Amino acid sequence: MYLILLGAPGVGKGTQSKMLEEKFGMVQLSTGDILRTEITKGTELGKLAATYMENGGLVPDDIIVNMISKYLDDRDLILDGFPRTLEQAEALALILEKQNKKYIILNITLDDQLIVDRLCGRLICRSCGTSFNIKFAKPKVEGVCDICSGELYQRPDDKEESIINRLKLYHSKTKPLIDFYRSRGKLTMIDGNRNSSEVFENLVEVITKEIK
């Protein structure tokens, strides 16, 4: 089974994916994480992707679909950050049909202003990927991860200008996926304006019903 998590940047898809991985024994597949790893390794793909990612742009569909296809195997996956455009959703639909896969789609919602507040203050652990926030979820020791003592950093695209660009692209390119999946009767909306354990409980409830 694939779990497809939709929602704007900053609604908590990454945090929830990590909790869901543990709960349901699934594997998180984050296109953003895969691309950042390629950038760190200095690969051709990483160099190309960085030119789009720095300013909050989207990496072209053909590159993303080609990259992600290699990971879409028979594991139970949580897709975090893919699909992000109608073209990607159509490519995924073909793959799912071929594989005869069951899938669940959950869309986490949050107001734009709250997203900007969350992303501007976001810090991420370099080692385990846990997110903190300088206003809402401070680490116990400044700059240090509570979970693994790793170093916390701010993503280069979590600057206000890039955030605004990412949100604009979300509204023009990714939000239409809500209607795409709704018209296929395949979408559940989740209110992201709650603390992460409440959102998690809601997700677990919906997923548990769906997989029964």
58 belongs to the binding site for ligand AMP (CB under 6 A): yes
CA distance 15 to 5: 11
- 110 Cβ neighbours under 8 A, 6+ residues apart: 7, 8, 10, 11, 12, 118, 192, 193
- 64 Cβ neighbours under 8 A, 6+ residues apart: 31, 82, 84, 88
Site for ligand AMP (CB under 6 A): which residue of 3, 26, 53, 78? 53
User: Is the bond leading into 9 cis (omega within 30 degrees of zero)?
Assistant: no
Site for ligand AMP (CB under 6 A): which residue of 6, 11, 17, 32? 32
Q: Which of residues 130-159 bind ligand AMP (CB under 6 A)?
A: 157
Stretch that binds ligand AMP, among 20-28, 80-88, 179-187, 195-203 (CB under 6 A): 80-88
Type and span of the H or E element at 191: strand 187-191
Q: Catalytic pick from 18, 36, 118, 166?
A: 166
11 belongs to the binding site for ligand AMP (CB under 6 A): no
Token pair 């692209």 in the structure block, residue:
169
129 belongs to the binding site for ligand AMP (CB under 6 A): no
Active centre residues (catalytic): 13, 84, 122, 155, 166
Contact residues: ligand AMP, CB under 6 A: 9, 31-32, 35, 52-53, 56-59, 64, 81-82, 84, 88, 157, 166
